């Protein structure tokens, strides 16, 4: 059996902390924190057990793998705090998904408090449904074994699998607390280069809430019930049928830039989920260089160092595939 203790970190959020045992059967036990009163069980478990998606947890509820105070949980069940939860995971275990793996990391900066990584397109940041190994988290545990003691191995924000660029990882609990607080206060600067379809005449911003799509649950959308989201954009370069933008995040919602730009009629080039239909010349340019992802790169990152208090910044050059795509577009001008 694997038990979980409710632990409160320095920035007011709760997580499930594992206590390992030698039993062959794995059962997770935890107590629902009081501040989740009135919330749905699947939503609470998705926060306390981030190694599994909410869809997977919902499936386990239907399969009667989750109990509340000794009784089988039911779909859409609410909790009020203090309930004893037991989860019997199926298939992949936490130990497997959190195994250290010798995966090369492109490290832009590292000290005793944090690591700044230039993530390549194609690398998943955190294990999840369909991607239990070969992730950046697995690579981090191999690079710095002490990260096993930090929730999510110190990962405080993410990039989509097919988005390249910079993200920061905390190496201590104190650094993690500081970085999360900075993210919450919107004092971490995150600038992206985004190649969008259509000609954007001037810069601006999108201030529209982002949440789970009401029908297509694997997608996000601008929706009234979503979370506050704000993206600023500036024109960097114009092409015949596309525009290179610099996008700056105030908030960091899932797929935020992709959803926001799609919502105003300028979807990201190559986006398989939110992208529009490119003109023939763009399709030809993408085909010639084999470009098959959303054209989004986290170019700049700036934050306050958790220990020294100094403001620090980094910039990652465009990866080769996106540089080659821009070159092809310029040739068609």
Decide which of 190 and 279 is more confident: 190
Confidence of residue 19 (pLDDT cuts 50, 70, 90): very low
Residue 222 has pLDDT above 50, yes or no: yes
CA distances from 250 to 2, 20, 244, 315 (A): 39, 39, 20, 18
**Does residue 160 have an active-site annotation?**
yes
Of 51, 160, 162, 191, which one is the catalytic site residue? 160
Query: Residue 84 contacts by C-beta under 8 Å, 6 or more apart in sequence?
Result: 29, 30, 31, 68, 69, 70
pLDDT reported for residue 91: 56
The reported pLDDT for the residue numbered 46 is 84
124 C-beta neighbours (distance < 10 Å), count:
21
pLDDT band at 333; cut points 50, 70, 90: confident
Compute the average pLDDT of residues 138-144: 95
For the chain, how far is it from start to end, CA to CA, in angstroms? 64
Kindly give, in sequence order, each residue whose CB lies less than 8 Å from that of residue 241, ignoring residues fewer than 6 positions away: 197, 198, 199, 278, 279, 281, 282
Has residue 10 got a pLDDT over 80? no
Q: Rounded to whole angstroms, how far apart are CA atoms 85 and 7?
A: 15
Mean pLDDT of the 52-57 span: 78
| Half-sphere exposure (Cβ direction) of 264: Cα atoms closer than 13 Å | 21
Provide the pLDDT for residue 128: 72
**pLDDT at residue 22 tops 50:** no
Whole-number mean pLDDT of the chain? Answer: 88
pLDDT at 93: 46
Tokens 């500036």 locate to: 234
* Confidence grade of residue 235 (pLDDT, cut at 50, 70, 90): very high
The confidence score (pLDDT) of residue 20 equals 37
The C-alpha atoms of residue 95 and residue 11 are separated, in whole angstroms, by 26
Residue matched to tokens 């036990």: 29
Q: Does the pLDDT of residue 14 top 90, yes or no?
A: no
Residue 49 — pLDDT band, cuts 50, 70, 90?
Answer: confident
Closest by CA to 295, choosing from 247, 223, 229, 240, is 247
Q: How would you classify the pairing of strands 242-249 and 164-170?
A: unpaired
Q: Is the pLDDT of residue 5 over 50?
A: no
* pLDDT at residue 4 is higher than 60: no
Of 190 and 93, the structure prediction assigns the larger pLDDT to 190
Please report which confidence band the pLDDT of residue 54 belongs to, taking 50, 70 and 90 as the band edges: confident
pLDDT digits (tens, 9 = 90+) for 63-73: 899 999 999 99
Q: pLDDT digit string (tens) for 252-299?
A: 999 999 999 999 999 999 999 999 889 888 999 999 999 999 999 999
The pair of three-digit structure tokens given for residue 325, joined into one six-digit string: 């795509």
DSSP 78: B
Given a cut of 60, is residue 8 above it in pLDDT? no
Instruction: Lowest mean pLDDT of 22-36, 71-85, 191-205, name the range.
Output: 22-36
What pLDDT band is residue 13 in, cutting at 50, 70 and 90?
Answer: very low
Residue 129: predicted pLDDT: 64
Q: Supply the pLDDT for residue 35.
A: 87
Q: Confidence class of residue 152 from pLDDT cuts 50, 70 and 90?
A: confident
Q: What are phi and psi of 72, to 5 degrees?
A: -60, 135
**pLDDT higher than 70, residue 301:** yes
């Amino acid at each position: 059996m694997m038990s979980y203790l409710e632990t409160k970190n320095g920035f007011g959020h709760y997580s499930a902390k594992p206590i390992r045992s030698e039993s062959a059967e794995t059962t997770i036990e935890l107590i629902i924190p009081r501040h989740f009163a009135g919330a749905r069980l699947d939503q609470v478990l998705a926060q306390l057990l981030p190694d599994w998606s909410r869809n997977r947890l919902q499936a386990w509820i239907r399969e009667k793998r989750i109990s509340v105070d000794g009784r089988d949980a039911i779909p859409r069940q609410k909790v009020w705090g203090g309930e004893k939860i037991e989860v019997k995971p199926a298939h992949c275990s936490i130990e497997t998904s959190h195994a250290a793996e010798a995966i090369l990391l492109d490290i832009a900066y590292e000290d005793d408090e944090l690591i700044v990584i230039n993530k390549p397109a194609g690398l998943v940041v955190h294990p999840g449904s369909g991607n239990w190994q070969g992730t950046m988290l697995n690579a981090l545990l191999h690079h710095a074994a002490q990260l096993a003691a930090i929730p999510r191995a110190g990962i405080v924000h993410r990039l989509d699998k097919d988005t390249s660029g910079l993200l920061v990882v905390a190496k201590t609990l104190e650094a993690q607390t500081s970085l999360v607080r900075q993210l919450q206060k919107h004092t971490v600067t995150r600038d992206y280069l985004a190649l969008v379809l259509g000609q954007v005449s001037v810069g601006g911003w999108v201030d529209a809430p982002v949440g789970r799509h009401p029908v297509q649950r694997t997608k996000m959308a601008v929706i009234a019930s979503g979370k506050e989201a704000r993206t600023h954009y500036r024109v960097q370069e114009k092409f015949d049928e596309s525009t290179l933008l610099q996008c700056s995040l105030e908030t960091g919602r899932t797929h935020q830039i992709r959803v926001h730009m799609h919502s105003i009629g300028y979807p990201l080039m190559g986006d398989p989920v939110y992208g529009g239909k490119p003109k023939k010349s763009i399709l030809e340019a993408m085909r010639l260089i084999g470009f098959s992802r959303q054209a989004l790169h986290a170019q700049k990152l700036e934050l306050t160092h958790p220990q020294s208090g100094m403001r620090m910044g980094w910039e990652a050059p465009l990866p080769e595939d996106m540089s080659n795509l821009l070159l092809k577009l310029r040739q068609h001008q």
